[in-house]
Structure 1
């Protein structure tokens, strides 16, 4: 089968011919990939940022946002059958450790992370397990939902955590209306009554923010005073879907006293004097992917038409070009890789 594999860091991945995955355990599930989302994390993987954390053995297959159709299951699998349409939670978890039993899938003590430390879904087939697959209505298309497996899940997870902080009359600021941000805006609209202001440097992204439900949009080059005026002195919650190149400082500045800065995008650093944290009583909150329950809730919102993805399709063999488009800012929304899209 064809697969997009990283052979060395700081080099473009290659399109290789590799053996198809096989069932080796009772809980295994083999999925024919219908679509694999392209994420900025994939660029960070190629840069080597995840190597000290995940320690993958090179070469391996990228792709942690995957949806498709079940083709084969292990002997213990009962929740899905061959032919079912599924989306995969990005982590393959054990179900036995304390974090798993508490529903904190992202912190499983024995997990693997397809696309980050084992073979992922930028291929024609991938192997996962029964705990990771969410069975969907057969009418749902993998190309429409694949990126919700991580980008959508991460955005939704952050918003879900912030719901108690955003009662009617509150104000949320969203930094970045790209692949994560436009899902975050829709999630905010679906779960809260907060007023939403979106910041981005791209006019196309700001247009996407407006169509996604933003109440106000501002170019990041605009006077910061406009943001404080719109928010009435600062946001109750800032969702930073960029997390680098100065958005970290902007996010802290945009907060009102006792506000919360939700860090979602990454690559930079949050540098705040402790006296500022104390005197303003502000909070910095990290957000890592989301739980299986978060993903099922997000799929419900999607089936209700309350969350949808803005996508651009690429053939799997054009994965490197898609990554270059993402890196250069030429991709608005989410890039989706589809095996055998052409012909």
Structure 2
């Protein structure tokens, strides 16, 4: 089969011929409908050799959905042809966190090891080997080609928002910095979970801000000092209850600290390499700063329920396997409106 693989540090990925995996005991072979292209992949491809404990080659793609193709011995709960989405962070399954569905916070050193990110083959191929049926969530009426990014862009945004919902309500403000694929999903999740809050999108791109408005943002602001002033005006000088930084570079973290309020939440989701200076007065007093990672298996079930109800929807652009390198270049250049999805069987 064909697979789009990370073959060498600081080089673009390549389409290669690899064997079709054979599912072993408890494993499942999934026919891939869609595999999302994520900025995390770009960061991985751009790292120098030796930056991680694993080594190439392996197949990219950690946002995966498709149809059950074949079950290994002892694997139960699904039938061939079932439409499924694949939970991404693969943990040990046995520690306290994993037993609560929080495999994103597996307590075993070196885990979780997501397929497509941690040295294990991911889903940018015709077939994906999934190590356990516990990572499969039924898709219902959703098309795997459209739903694939829900397993990361959707789940990560949902988890980041859900932890702060108790701060939001009538008269509250939530700021989403970065209106790309993650930001667009975060806006929709905020409207679904805390509809009475005012959602403000901030980005450097007017085009992305227009998309943010289309998916539910109440206000949009071009990034910069004037955006901080505008947030202060919107909130009566107090700042926002929740600031989500989906970029994570110096300029956005600086803005985030200035936009947050006393007793608020400043949540860093973006994987930029900047650090947030923390001192006695900045961020504001008792403003909780957190950097959540992905989300839980139960939360992915909730994300799929929201998508099936029509309350959230990922904007996607489809690319064939042979065009995967072009999709990543477009992602690098900021030319993807929502999420690029590789569709091996189109």
TM class by shorter-chain length? over 0.9
Aligned partners of 1:149 and 1:196: how far apart in 2? 23
Shift of 1:283: 1.6
Q: Which residue of 1 aligns with 2:44?
A: 45
**Secondary structure of residue in 2 paired with 1:96:** coil
Q: 1:270-281 counterparts in 2 under 5 A? A: 270-277=275-282, 280-281=285-286
Any gaps of 5 or more consecutive residues in structure 2?
Answer: none
Aligned partners of 1:337 and 1:199: how far apart in 2? 28
Aligned partners of 1:97 and 1:258: how far apart in 2? 33
8 Å contact 1:94–1:111 — kept in the other structure? Answer: yes
8 Å contact 2:86–2:151 — kept in the other structure? Answer: yes
**Secondary structure of residue in 2 paired with 1:275:** coil
Any gaps of 5 or more consecutive residues in structure 1?
Answer: none
Q: Which residue of 2 aligns with 1:59?
A: 57
Q: Which residue of 1 aligns with 2:14?
A: 14
**Secondary structure of residue in 2 paired with 1:276:** coil
Q: 1:50 to 1:291 in 2, by over 3 A?
A: farther
**Secondary structure of residue in 2 paired with 1:68:** strand
Aligned partners of 1:307 and 1:191: how far apart in 2? 11
Q: 1:5 to 1:209 in 2, by over 3 A?
A: same
Aligned length: 338
Q: 1:215-294 counterparts in 2 under 5 A? A: 215-221=218-224, 223=226, 224-233=228-237, 234-277=239-282, 280-294=285-299
**Secondary structure of residue in 1 paired with 2:302:** helix
Q: 1:166 to 1:51 in 2, by over 3 A?
A: farther
**Secondary structure of residue in 2 paired with 1:330:** coil
8 Å contact 1:5–1:13 — kept in the other structure? Answer: yes
- Equivalent in 137, 149, 152 of residue 147 of structure 1: 149
Tell me if 1:209 matches 2:212: yes
Q: 1:80-229 counterparts in 2 under 5 A? A: 80-108=78-106, 109=108, 111-117=112-118, 118-128=120-130, 129-137=132-140, 139-192=141-194, 193-221=196-224, 223=226, 224-229=228-233
Shift of 1:225: 1.5
Cα deviations by residue, 1:68-123 (Å, 9 ceiling, x for unpaired): 00011122222211110000000223321111123312012254310012100011
Aligned partners of 1:301 and 1:136: how far apart in 2? 11
- TM-score norm. by structure 1 comes to 0.94
Q: 1:255-334 counterparts in 2 under 5 A? A: 255-277=260-282, 280-334=285-339
Aligned partners of 1:91 and 1:20: how far apart in 2? 22
Aligned partners of 1:77 and 1:49: how far apart in 2? 39
8 Å contact 2:257–2:282 — kept in the other structure? Answer: no
Aligned partners of 1:306 and 1:49: how far apart in 2? 41
**Secondary structure of residue in 2 paired with 1:154:** helix
8 Å contact 2:243–2:265 — kept in the other structure? Answer: yes
8 Å contact 1:33–1:126 — kept in the other structure? Answer: yes
Aligned partners of 1:164 and 1:153: how far apart in 2? 19
Q: Which residue of 2 aligns with 1:27?
A: 26
Aligned partners of 1:274 and 1:225: how far apart in 2? 22
- TM-score norm. by structure 2 comes to 0.93
8 Å contact 2:184–2:212 — kept in the other structure? Answer: yes
Aligned partners of 1:244 and 1:21: how far apart in 2? 39
Shift of 1:52: 4.0
Q: Cα RMSD (Å) of the superposition? A: 1.7
**Secondary structure of residue in 2 paired with 1:247:** helix
Shift of 1:207: 1.0
